[in-house]
């Protein structure tokens, strides 16, 4: 497997020296945000990690190589090309490798490549989950299966209410994935820091989380972990406003017959338009907040 892996010199050096490294995903760049905010955010995320003395490894597939650590040109290429880049989850990686193609990695594919590179912590915005109506569509993100089997701790801002939060938590419980809340017992709902659901455990410091990761790894558990970090209150959106935008976007997706891997990018873009760009501002702030927490956790492992 490792022959397909390309670790950047900066990431390799940090790994060799035992310095902390965190992974960052690239579907958020190509499909999760519009240009140029996507490029600005990708760069800000890398800079944020470095503030903590942590080396960022943005992950993507470039010419069939599974890359951990990108050049600024590669970041810019993914950001400018946007949704024309293939959104790559677990099932896409063999095809992209064989065809020497490019792909922007989802949470699932980023976890796979991070694990191959020996990176234990990964920061993103939101994970995929069980979609609303999954009882008929069976739309359950491969991210959840990856959390069940790949040993990487993912820091996110909870799950967006484009998903069924309750079913997403049930699925994670069935799969044995620990779900931790940073300074909260309430599952954060991405744009808002509150929801009607609870996480398994409240953690009050990055070190406490790092200790749980170390214990999980020490026990030889195969799976990962989900760390939910609430959006700072000053950047959160009013619940009624975001719920209305999400409901409208879901209705439009249904009417237009959008499904499969296209649904999450469609909903994110529509919610951004419907909120006049407010959701994008919140999204950027929460991602940076997650990078800061992931960096402190990585430094404590």
Residues that bind ligand PSU (CB under 6 A): 25, 27-28, 31-32, 89, 106-107, 125-128, 141-143, 160, 261, 264, 268
Q: Can you name the residues that pair with 88 across neighbouring β-strands?
A: 105
d(CA 285, CA 289): 6
- Are the C-beta atoms of residues 130 and 164 closer than 8 Å to each other? yes
Largest alpha-carbon pair distance within the chain?
53
* For the chain, counts of helices (H) and of strands (E): 13, 11
Closer residue to ligand PSU in complex, CB, 158/178: 158
- Are the C-beta atoms of residues 241 and 275 closer than 8 Å to each other? yes
Q: Strands 121-123, 179-182: parallel, antiparallel or unpaired by DSSP?
A: unpaired
Cβ of residue 234: shortest distance to ligand PSU, in angstroms? 20
Q: Which of 87, 160, 261, 278 is catalytic?
A: 160
8: helix, strand or coil: coil
The option from ligand PSU, Mn ion, none interacting with 25 (CB < 5 to 8 A, set by class) reads: ligand PSU
Closer residue to ligand PSU in complex, CB, 14/102: 102
Cβ of residue 141: shortest distance to Mn ion, in angstroms? 5
Distances (CA, A) of 27 to 54, 79, 88: 22, 10, 8
The option from ligand PSU, Mn ion, none interacting with 32 (CB < 5 to 8 A, set by class) reads: ligand PSU
Closer residue to ligand PSU in complex, CB, 60/127: 127
Angular region, 276: left φ>0, alpha ψ -120 to 50, beta rest: left
DSSP run (H or E) holding 295? helix 278-300
d(CA 263, CA 93): 20
The option from Mn ion, ligand PSU, none interacting with 28 (CB < 5 to 8 A, set by class) reads: ligand PSU
DSSP 8-class letter at 127: -
Cβ of residue 114: shortest distance to Mn ion, in angstroms? 21
Closer residue to ligand PSU in complex, CB, 120/132: 132
- Omega within 30 of 0 (cis) for the link into 150: no
Closer residue to ligand PSU in complex, CB, 210/284: 284
Active site residue 261: no
Q: Which of 6, 25, 48, 120 is catalytic?
A: 25
Cβ of residue 266: shortest distance to ligand PSU, in angstroms? 10
The option from ligand PSU, Mn ion, none interacting with 184 (CB < 5 to 8 A, set by class) reads: none
DSSP 8-class letter at 36: T
Using CB under 5 A, list all residues that contact Mn ion: 139
The option from ligand PSU, Mn ion, none interacting with 132 (CB < 5 to 8 A, set by class) reads: none
Closer residue to ligand PSU in complex, CB, 48/92: 92
Indicate the residue whose CB is closest to Mn ion: 139
Cβ of residue 156: shortest distance to ligand PSU, in angstroms? 8
Cβ of residue 215: shortest distance to ligand PSU, in angstroms? 26
Q: Which residues contact 19 (CB under 8 A, 6 or more apart)?
A: 53, 54, 55
The C-alpha angle 232, 236, 242, rounded to 5 degrees, equals: 155
Active site residue 160: yes
The option from ligand PSU, Mn ion, none interacting with 187 (CB < 5 to 8 A, set by class) reads: none
Active site residues: 25, 160
């Amino acid at each position: 497997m490792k022959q397909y892996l390309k670790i950047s010199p900066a990431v390799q050096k940090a790994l060799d020296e035992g310095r902390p490294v965190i992974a960052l995903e690239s579907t958020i760049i190509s499909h999760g945000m519009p240009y140029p905010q996507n490029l600005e955010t990708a760069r800000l995320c890398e800079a944020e990690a470095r503030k903590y003395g942590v080396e960022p490894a943005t992950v993507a597939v470039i010419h069939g190589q599974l890359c951990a650590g990108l050049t600024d040109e590669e970041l810019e290429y993914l950001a400018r090309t946007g949704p024309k880049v293939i959104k790559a989850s677990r099932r896409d990686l063999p095809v992209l490798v064989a065809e020497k193609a490019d792909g922007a990695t989802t949470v699932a594919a980023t976890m796979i490549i991070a694990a191959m590179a020996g990176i234990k912590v990964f920061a993103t915005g939101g994970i995929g989950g069980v979609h609303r109506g999954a009882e008929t569509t069976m739309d359950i993100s491969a991210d959840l299966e990856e959390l069940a089997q790949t040993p990487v701790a993912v820091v996110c801002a909870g799950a967006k209410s484009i998903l069924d939060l309750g079913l997403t938590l049930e699925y994670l419980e069935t799969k044995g994935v620990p779900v931790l809340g940073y300074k909260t017992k309430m599952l954060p709902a991405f744009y808002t820091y509150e929801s009607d659901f609870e996480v398994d455990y409240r953690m009050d410091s990055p070190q406490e989380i790092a200790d749980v990761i170390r214990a999980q790894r020490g026990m030889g558990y195969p799976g990962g972990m989900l760390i939910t970090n609430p959006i700072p209150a000053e950047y959160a959106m009013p619940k009624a406003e975001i719920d209305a935008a999400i409901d409208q976007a879901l209705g439009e997706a249904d009417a237009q017959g959008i499904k499969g891997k296209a649904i999450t990018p469609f909903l994110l873009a529509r919610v951004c338009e419907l909120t006049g760009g407010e959701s994008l501002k919140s999204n950027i702030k929460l991602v940076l907040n997650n990078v800061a927490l992931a960096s402190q956790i990585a430094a404590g492992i």
